[in-house]
Amino acid sequence: MNIFTLGPIGSYSHQLTQKLFSELIPTFAPTIAEVFEAVNKSKNSFGIVPLENIIEGSVTETLECLVELDLKIYDIVTLNINHSLCSKTKNFKKIISHPQALAQCRNYLKKNYKKISPESTTSTSAACQIAAENQDYAAIASEFTANIYNLEVITSNISNVANNQTKFAIICKQPNSKTALSTLAILTPTNQDEPGLLIKMLFPFQENQVNLTKIESRPNQKNFNEYIFFIEFEGDARQARARKILTYLEKDLQICTIKVLGGQTTNTKF
């Protein structure tokens, strides 16, 4: 079995990969999109990608890849995120990290380094790699990653909130045979101009007493000014009530097409 994750070594995705698949050596990809592409091209493989952060919300690149590629979410796992500012020296001139990490530490940066404009990298570990090679840079990453790259921790626990957490999706080609506690799906309306369309799509969930835990709109990249909807509901899409709802929306009303992605099968947190 192959495991692909966002690299280089030391990223939060890598840390979670070690916890979940400690017996396997992961293959690192430089971007989230390339993790998806690697899983899509490989047999018997899984990928670990960030899905949603408690501060900054959904990870756009992950959502876009879930739309574009025919991959499933095998499970969703939560990881505690503890960001630190780290560098070779305190006399750095630039601060770098993944855009999500920078945003999650916005308050700390504004208060302590308002004269430095943060710069984006593809991952927190990529930021540490750069900071290890150039003393002008400081990186925002975990202490775990800082130690890998022999960086000094300038300040620890710098997130905007104390209980910073990120949900990660385990992606693969085949759905999980275990019953999901919650399911993520993409609803693509067939007629964007229909009045009350969103209400019509959501009402069957209320009518059948299936709790919706998330709804998020995204621009449809294939058609300008049109939108798709990510929804998350409690339970498994293969259960009777959920099947009834999805069939009613897609086959009977014909108001949307539905792509069931999969979802969370356990309450695993690290």
Taking only the tens place, the pLDDT of each residue in 141-165 is 999 999 999 999 999 999 999 899 9
What's the whole-number mean pLDDT along residues 111-131? 94
Q: Is the pLDDT of residue 223 over 90?
A: no
pLDDT band at 85 (very low <50, low <70, confident <90, very high): very high
Q: What is the reported pTM?
A: 0.90
CATH class of the region 2-80+166-172: alpha beta
- The domain 84-156 is placed in CATH, from the list 2.40.10.120, 3.40.50.150, 3.40.190.170, 3.40.190.10, at 3.40.190.10
pLDDT at residue 191, rounded to an integer: 85
**Common-topology check for domains 2-80+166-172 and 182-264:** no
Q: Assess whether pLDDT exceeds 90 at residue 224.
A: no
Q: Which residues contact 3 (CB under 8 A, 6 or more apart)?
A: 17, 21, 24, 25, 26, 27, 45, 46, 47, 48
pLDDT per residue as tens digits for the range 86-104 = 999 999 999 999 999 999 9
pLDDT of residue 131: 96
For 52-74, what is each residue's pLDDT tens digit? Answer: 999 889 999 999 999 999 999 99
Which CATH number does the domain 182-264 belong to among 3.40.50.170, 3.10.20.30, 3.60.40.10, 3.30.70.260?
3.30.70.260
Q: Are 87 and 139 in contact (CB under 8 A)?
A: yes
**In what order do the strands lie in the sheet containing 84-87?**
119-120, 94-97, 137-141, 84-87, 152-156
For residue 11, what are its two tokens? 């990223």
